[in-house]
Amino acid sequence: MADDNTAEVPVSVRVSDLPTRLASAAVLLAIAAAALAIGGRVLDAFILLVALIGFAELVRLVLAASRNWALRIIGIAAGAAYFGLAAAVMIGAGTFLLVMVIGIAVFTDTGAYFAGRAIGGPKIAPAISPSKTWAGLAGGMIAAAVWVFVWVAAIDSTALDWLGPRFEIGLNLSFANTLGGIVLGAVLAVVAQAGDFLESWLKRRAGVKDSSRLIPGHGGVFDRIDGLVPVAIVAGLIAAWMAP
């Protein structure tokens, strides 16, 4: 997700850091695309590895956020369930649903970033994340809704036969289901932003800017998947509820 402190960093610093961020993003995208293309156990192992690293970073934040061992144990246990459930959903999801969920997180982040920058306006929770605005949230919801519409509309495309079965969540091209998919995208965008706020709160409690320095220019793995984790969980629960 976008760095909460971006607005506080001088423009010259952000510009000088751009090549590093772009290079890191390209490498991450290539690795994720390769794992998705190979599929099978390789994809499962990749998802599990990302979840484990994200969980380790969450544990670091929890330990830094509180010296109370009872609260630490509760936070770590909750984090294990949080990442574990998300990983289980993504490993068990078909490729179509998996790509849709990832797309929702990416488009929410992108739409929120550009809408927030272009429009600005009132902050949602400045004490937790000073860069997040209501305009950004709206932009993220619109972008995610557009993504789901496009992805659902691709269900019948023969060009996507490599995805395998595409009815894991019971969708087809009826008007009601297509409209439902658009609403689902907007709702899951809110879920993604909630995950972003959760990590921002933990980082502020821990007194750190990033969950780690693992990814040059981007921070840690948790910083990249903070919105994806809750989206995967909620999407998985919806898919299970809608399954015949």
- Segment 219-243, tens digit of pLDDT: 899 999 999 999 999 998 988 887 6
> How does residue 4 score in pLDDT terms, banded at 50, 70 and 90?
very low
Residue 4 falls inside a structural domain:
no
Instruction: Tell me what pLDDT residue 123 has.
Output: 92
Distances 204 to 5, 64, 80, 179, 199 between C-alpha atoms, Å:
11, 10, 20, 38, 9
User: What's the average model confidence in pLDDT over 98-107?
Assistant: 91
Residue 165 falls inside a structural domain:
yes
Instruction: Tell me what pLDDT residue 222 has.
Output: 95
User: Considering its fold, how many domains does the chain have in total?
Assistant: 1
pLDDT greater at residue 7 or residue 172: 172
Residue 3 falls inside a structural domain:
no
> How does residue 83 score in pLDDT terms, banded at 50, 70 and 90?
very high
User: What's the average model confidence in pLDDT over 112-121?
Assistant: 89
Is residue 46 pLDDT above 90, yes or no? yes
> How does residue 120 score in pLDDT terms, banded at 50, 70 and 90?
confident
- Asked which of 42-51, 62-71, 143-152 is least confident by mean pLDDT, the reply is 143-152
User: What's the average model confidence in pLDDT over 102-131?
Assistant: 90
Instruction: Tell me what pLDDT residue 10 has.
Output: 43
> How does residue 111 score in pLDDT terms, banded at 50, 70 and 90?
very high
Instruction: Tell me what pLDDT residue 29 has.
Output: 84
Instruction: Tell me what pLDDT residue 75 has.
Output: 96
User: What's the average model confidence in pLDDT over 45-66?
Assistant: 96
Instruction: Tell me what pLDDT residue 17 has.
Output: 66
- Global pTM exceeds 0.85: no
> How does residue 9 score in pLDDT terms, banded at 50, 70 and 90?
very low
Residue 47 falls inside a structural domain:
yes
Q: Is 185 within 8 Å of 143 (Cβ atoms)? A: no
Range of the domain at 152: 10-242
Residue 5 falls inside a structural domain:
no
pLDDT greater at residue 68 or residue 36: 68
Give residue-wise pLDDT tens across range 158-187: 666 655 555 444 455 667 777 888 898 999
Residue 1 falls inside a structural domain:
no
Q: Which of 221, 218, 197 is nearest to 51 (CA)?
A: 221
Residue 129 falls inside a structural domain:
yes
pLDDT greater at residue 195 or residue 24: 195
Residue 136 falls inside a structural domain:
yes
> How does residue 194 score in pLDDT terms, banded at 50, 70 and 90?
very high
